[in-house]
Amino acid sequence: MKESIPLVLRDARRTRRRHAWAAVQRRRLADLVEHARTHSPYYRDLYRGLPSGLDDPARLPVTGKAALMAHYDQWATDREVTLERARAFVADPALVGGRFLDRYLAVTTSGTTGNPAIFVKDDRDIAVNYALGMRMMVSWLDAGDVPRIVAGGGRMAIVAAANGHFLVSAGAARMRASRLRRRTVRLFPVHAPLDALVEALNEFRPALLLGYGSVLGMLAAEQEAGRLRIAPALVEPAGETLTGGDHERMARAFGAKVRDTYGASECPFLTEGCAHGWYHVNSDWAVVEPVEADHSPTPPGEPSHTVLITNLANRVQPILRYDLGDSVLRRPDPCPCGDPRPALRVQGRVADLLTFTTGRGQGVIAPLMLNTLVDRTPGVQLYQIVQTGPAGLRVRLRATPEADPERVWRAVCEGIAGLLAEHRLKHVILERADEPPQQSAGGKYRTVIPLKDPA
Ligand SMILES: [Zn+2]
């Protein structure tokens, strides 16, 4: 299929009308497996001995971030995609959002489980992401939302890291090469001081507000305090799982609909959130398998140990049966919204804000602000930031073998200190840990651990 947004939309409508998700999924999986084992040396080795024409994900070996990052140059199906080139590209601020090797997007993770990675997206991945995102947003809106959409000029504000997976939406907007769209979709860097962010949003007056859940939570507080004065029709928190209480508070603060979705940099279009708070798998373009520790299927109604995902769109860096690390629960009965596709809830990735005591009360930092900051610091292999008190942070750091640990520590320390200062939290004390980052009982490296959560 060609990389065009209208074609993806037409195809998605046809699949839905015919309820053909399972058949389309099997066909696309067989295609991708064949493509991967033909053009990716990593998958050629991994799938050696498997029969051809495989369309059952359960028969494929499992992959994950660590394995793919370790075989980066062999993983891609394009020999020009190398880790060295990808790192050099994302390290240059002037190139952020531009075309990598003139034909791809490069997206860095702001992962909550350590090990920063760089994912390369081709035009098909970008088109599918954009088309499914638009379809989802349209399904969330109704006639009652039109006045606010019109008042906001259809403008969409994305509050996120300038290099994260939201870039894919911005990239798709650019792909359409329409000047109108470029004016209507704007990325607001999450590292900006809160005051500046509030001012910029007041000026932009978005109809749609998207961004990291924890940061939108902070913006909801600004709106309640009267400093932020916007009237979006729809608020879409992403990247972190929020509780029902967070949703209600956001809906109240903005007087808007709040809907969210569950995805990852590896596959942003994994699911579509419904009005009943479930995430329905976009089964025509993704495979989601909740599994136990031994990768056997977890029965519906029970929380899984982890989840394996497959992105059926991206052909340059195939993501096939990839261990994402989240615990998900599949709904055992039909969802009341009427969508027949598998419905999930996510147990992991809870967005806990770091709350600090200040002279004037409290100040908060969203974990993802720290994640996106440390992720982009050169030489960091693994890190963990632990809140040790109402005004203390302890940083566990492991540098890459070729990096100078002292220099990496200074860069991380300066970055965090700058972020704290911007949020009027200069008094928070940063302490360098002797011990390396610690794994949780489930084997995950949580990168940010708030005080209230002694994990
Ligand atoms: Zn539903």
pLDDT digits (tens, 9 = 90+) for 219-271: 998 999 999 999 999 999 876 666 667 788 899 999 999 988 888 889 989 99
> At 340, which CATH number?
3.40.50.12780
Q: What's the mean per-residue pLDDT of the chain? A: 85
Do 221 and 162 lie in a common domain? yes
- Ligand 1 centroid – CA 285 distance (Å): 18
pLDDT tens-digit series, residues 27-38: 999 999 999 999
Distance, CA 244 to ligand 1 centroid (Å)? 15
Give 275's pLDDT tier (boundaries 50, 70, 90): confident
CA of 278 relative to ligand 1 center, distance in Å? 5
Say how many Å lie between the CA of residue 151 and the centre of ligand 1: 29
Instruction: Give the pLDDT confidence score for residue 115 in this predicted structure.
Output: 57
Specify whether 32 is located in the same domain as 102. yes
Query: Cα(330) to centroid of ligand 1, in Å?
Result: 12
| Residues 55 and 85 both lie in one domain | yes
Sheet with 429-432: strands ordered across? 429-432, 392-399, 380-389, 448-449
Rounded to the nearest angstrom, the distance between the alpha carbon of 180 and the centre of ligand 1 is: 33
Residue 431: domain span: 354-449
**Do 119 and 24 reside in the same domain of the chain?**
yes
Output the pLDDT for position 181.
Answer: 54
If you measure from the C-alpha of residue 338 to the centroid of ligand 1, how many angstroms do you get, rounded to a whole number? 6
| Residue 449: pLDDT over 70 | yes
More confident residue, 167 or 106: 106
Q: Are residues 178 and 152 in the same domain?
A: yes
For residue 365, is it within any domain?
yes
What is the pLDDT, as a whole number, of residue 164?
Answer: 58
| CA 57 / ligand 1 centre spacing (Å) | 24
Ligand 1 center–CA 339 separation, angstroms: 6
Q: Quick one: pLDDT at residue 243? A: 65
Q: Strand pairing of 392-399 and 118-121? A: unpaired
Predicted local distance difference test score (pLDDT) of residue 165: 53
Q: Considering the domain boundaries, does residue 133 fall inside one?
A: no
Note the pTM of the prediction, 2 decimals: 0.74
pLDDT at 175: 47
309, 327, 346 - which closes a domain? 346
Predicted pLDDT of residue 162? 63
Rounded mean pLDDT of 196-213? 91
